[in-house]
Homo-oligomer: A and B are copies of this chain.
């Protein structure tokens, strides 16, 4: 069933009013009609409802509601050296499917592109749509590109910080356990990888440097590998 993420203020007692974009999607893309059922999610509750009005905006009568569950039991954030826009968007879409909690673009020494902060709104739209298709219960968090210093100061807020580097390091499979871990951050370099000082900075901040084995991953593959492995190790997300 088609899912739409909504904000709390779109709910009025027993009805939900979809925004203009989602109303357009219901009517013109999905070609749904009055009487059809949809799911709405406000990240706390999942509402099952019946369409009672299409114009000017879709109105849904709530028929049932459940707790919005089914996210991974451990929050995984990916901090990624800023890469080109198309790559960022593609990585974001796939990380949503894989259950990532937050994606943090970071300006690193070898980031060959300037951070484009006016893209945040576009990114949030991409995440909302990808989350609806992937049946997430929470929207992946995204931030504007952050500075290296800002990343270093936040690492202490995580129970585990893994740093993915192509050098001679312990393999990821030997690099961590999940005992008493509630949140993880994985730091991944841009094209060309980390500068050697960045690795030192991350180690001083508490990061554990690991390798993914002796094959070289492109910068847009590494987050997908790390997120896949963590999704699997955490136990995959359980069905509602």
Contacts and interface: CB of A to CB of B under 8 A. Distances in A.
Interface string A204-240: 0000000111111110010011001101110111111
A169 to B, nearest CB: 10
Given A97-B217, A97-B218, A134-B217, A236 B212 contact: yes
B231 A232 contact: no
* Residues of A contacting B: mostly: loop
A224 B215 CA distance: 15
A8 to B, nearest CB: 23
Interface string A87-104: 000000010011100000
A171 interface: yes
A232 B225 CA distance: 9
Which of the four size classes fits the interface of chain A?
35 or more
A221 B135 contact: no
Contacts of A214: 70, 135, 237-240
A168 interface: yes
A86 to B, nearest CB: 12
Interface string A60-102: 0000000000100000000000000000000000100111000
A57 B26 CA distance: 60
A114 B98 CA distance: 29
B224 A133 contact: no
Contact of A229 (B133, B172, B228): B228
A136 interface: yes
A33 interface: no
Given A172-B236, A224-B225, 6 more contacts: A70-B215, A99-B213, A136-B215, A171-B235, A172-B232, A173-B235
